[in-house]
């Protein structure tokens, strides 16, 4: 007896996004860990998964990759546009370390936070509030960079007023020759930013879905809320907003390079992100699985080796 044999008619049938192929998801998760690097037909030739032995190595590798992009564009006299997440976060310490060590400033960098907590109308929590993504970025990246930091006027946060302007701001920077780098994590329900799988039902075609640049007051999936309750709110579901402002595929699929990270290991054999990793790498592009588009872009996906499994039952 397993999930698939008891799925039909259960409470999960209406809870899980309707476009998910559960048998296909199960097949993705049944692969042997040693096959995680096996290239798939839909991967971009320059897409590469990178295994990390522990959380410290993960943060250093990912931070170095971001810092190197900042340094390389600086040396070329090229503007850099970064779409940035709040989760994972450990890499920002190392971005700061490498840039300070190299004495490379980020004056040419334009940053766009990919999302922010909101209410149904898109009103965000005050930026100085602990738990806000703006506050997290100021403390993790912009503040520690000191005199080398990204100019205040070039820091963009996903407020109700500013998020709709991202499209034109980024388009103008790209027209000026800027390089667009997407830094991302992958959600429990395979979202990128807070672009959730159930949004697929709102669009008539893949092209229409791909054209969406943002969503104000996006309704979050219950699994996203619970994921964040566990990872960011000390298990307090009541503190997690049910809505967020977020970028969409019309922006994240424009990236010249992607730098992704999966660090969802909880310890004592527990984890939450193994399924997210395997489905991203194996499902093939599908608008009901937003992260499935990431391997179609050039770049790297760093992950903790433990997430590759084997994903088998274990009581802890």
List the domain boundaries for the chain.
45-308
DSSP state, 151?
Answer: P
* pLDDT at position 205: 98
Phi, psi of 161 (to 5 degrees): -85, -35
* pLDDT at position 131: 87
- CATH architecture for the domain at 45-308: 3-Layer(aba) Sandwich (3.40)
Each residue's pLDDT tens digit, 185-221: 999 999 999 999 999 999 999 999 999 999 999 999 9
Each residue's pLDDT tens digit, 272-312: 999 999 999 999 999 999 999 999 999 999 999 999 999 99
* pLDDT at position 169: 98
Q: Which long-range contacts (CB under 8 A, 24 or more apart) does 15-21 make?
A: 15/222, 17/189, 17/196, 17/197, 17/198, 17/200, 17/221, 17/288, 18/198, 18/201, 18/288, 19/197, 19/200, 19/201, 19/286, 19/287, 19/288, 20/197, 20/288, 20/289
* pLDDT at position 2: 85
Query: Exposed, middle or buried: residue 1 (CB in 10 Å: 0-12, 13-18, 19+)?
Result: exposed
* pLDDT at position 310: 97
Q: pLDDT 10s per residue in the chain (316 long)?
A: 788 899 889 999 999 999 999 999 999 999 999 999 999 999 999 999 999 999 999 999 999 999 999 999 999 999 999 999 999 999 999 999 999 999 999 999 999 999 999 999 999 989 888 889 999 999 999 999 999 999 999 999 999 999 999 999 999 999 999 999 999 999 999 999 999 999 999 999 999 999 999 999 999 999 999 999 999 999 999 999 999 999 999 999 999 999 999 999 999 999 999 999 999 999 999 999 999 999 999 999 999 999 999 999 988 8
Closest CA to 296 of 311, 314, 308, 283: 283
Place of tokens 């395979």: 190
């Amino acid at each position: 007896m397993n999930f698939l044999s008891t799925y039909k008619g259960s409470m999960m049938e209406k809870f899980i996004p309707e476009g998910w192929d559960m048998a296909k998801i199960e097949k993705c998760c049944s692969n042997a860990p040693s096959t995680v690097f096996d290239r798939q037909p839909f991967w971009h030739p320059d897409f590469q998964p990178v295994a990390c032995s522990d959380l410290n190595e993960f943060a250093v590798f990912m931070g170095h990759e971001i810092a190197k992009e900042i340094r390389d564009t600086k040396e070329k006299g090229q503007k850099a546009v970064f779409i940035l997440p709040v989760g994972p976060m450990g890499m920002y310490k190392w971005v700061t370390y490498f840039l300070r060590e190299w004495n490379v400033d980020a004056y040419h960098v334009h940053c766009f936070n990919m999302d922010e907590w909101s209410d149904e109308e898109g009103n965000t929590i005050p930026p100085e509030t602990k738990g806000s993504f703006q506050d997290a970025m100021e403390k993790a990246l912009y503040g520690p960079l000191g005199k080398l930091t990204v100019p205040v006027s070039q820091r963009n946060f996903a407020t109700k007023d500013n998020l709709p302007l991202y499209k034109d701001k980024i388009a103008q920077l790209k027209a000026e020759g800027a390089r667009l780098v997407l830094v991302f994590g992958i959600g429990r329900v395979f979202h990128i930013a807070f672009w959730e799988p159930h949004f697929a039902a709102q669009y008539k075609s893949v092209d229409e879905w791909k054209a969406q640049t943002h969503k104000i007051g996006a309704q979050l999936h219950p699994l996203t809320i619970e994921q964040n309750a566990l990872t960011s709110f000390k298990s307090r579901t009541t503190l997690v907003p049910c809505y967020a402002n977020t970028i969409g595929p019309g922006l994240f699929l424009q990236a010249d390079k992607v730098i992704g990270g999966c660090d969802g290991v909880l310890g004592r054999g527990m984890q939450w992100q193994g399924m997210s990793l395997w489905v991203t790498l194996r499902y093939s592009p599908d608008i009901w699985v937003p992260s499935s588009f990431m391997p179609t872009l050039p770049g790297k996906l760093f992950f903790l080796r433990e997430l590759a499994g084997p994903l088998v039952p274990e009581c802890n």
